[in-house]
């Protein structure tokens, strides 16, 4: 069964600093990988996704993620964090060729200090 591990429950960064959120997945075949963001009281918004091709994926709001098959990782990065980026971030893995039922990690809460 597929699974996702987000090892950091909370991450605190200063505004303007760089950010990297970690995600490791377990899946036997080629995964579909996703990062979602959830602001307080909101649903999930898709930041970016990887299906195949270039392993460095660009998303919305200045985020990017890199798929590393050898490490089973899909870490999310942003070069300069803004206060409005404070939110909960979820990594998810979906099954290739399936009806797309993603399995989510437990999330990482990003706190941004001024």
Partner 1 sequence: DAGVTQSPTHLIKTRGQQVTLRCSPKSGHDTVSWYQQALGQGPQFIFQYYEEEERQRGNFPDRFSGHQFPNYSSELNVNALLLGDSALYLCASGSDNEQFFGPGTRLTVL
Q: List residues binding partner 1 (CB under 8 A).
A: 4, 32, 36, 41-46, 49, 51, 90, 92, 94, 98-107
Buried b / exposed e along 53-68 (16+ C-beta atoms within 10 A): eeeebebeeebbbbbe
Q: Which is nearer to partner 1, 20 or 96 (CB)?
A: 96
Please identify, using beta-carbon distances, which residue of 15 and 22 lies nearer to partner 1.
22
Q: Are 36 and 89 in contact (CB under 8 A)?
A: yes
State how beta strands 44-50 and 31-38 pair.
Answer: antiparallel
Query: Smallest distance from the beta carbon of 101 to partner 1, in angstroms?
Result: 5
Smallest gap, in angstroms, from Cβ of residue 107 to partner 1? Answer: 5
Between 18 and 26, whose beta carbon lies closer to partner 1?
A: 26
Q: For residue 71, with 0-12 CB atoms within 10 Å meaning exposed, 13-18 middle and 19 or more buried, which class applies?
A: exposed
Minimum Å gap between C-beta 11 and partner 1 is 15
Element containing residue 66 per DSSP (H, E): strand 64-68
Q: Which is nearer to partner 1, 1 or 14 (CB)?
A: 1
């Amino acid at each position: 069964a597929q699974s996702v591990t987000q090892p950091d429950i909370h991450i605190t960064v200063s505004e303007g600093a760089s950010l990297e959120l970690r995600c490791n997945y377990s899946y036997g075949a080629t995964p579909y990988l996703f990062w979602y963001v959830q602001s307080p009281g909101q649903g999930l918004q898709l930041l970016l996704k990887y299906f195949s091709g270039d392993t460095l994926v660009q998303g919305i709001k200045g985020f990017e993620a890199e798929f590393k098959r050898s490490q089973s990782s899909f870490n999310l990065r942003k070069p300069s964090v803004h206060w409005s980026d404070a939110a909960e971030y979820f990594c998810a893995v979906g099954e290739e060729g399936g009806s797309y039922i993603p399995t989510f990690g437990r999330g990482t809460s990003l706190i941004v200090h001024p």
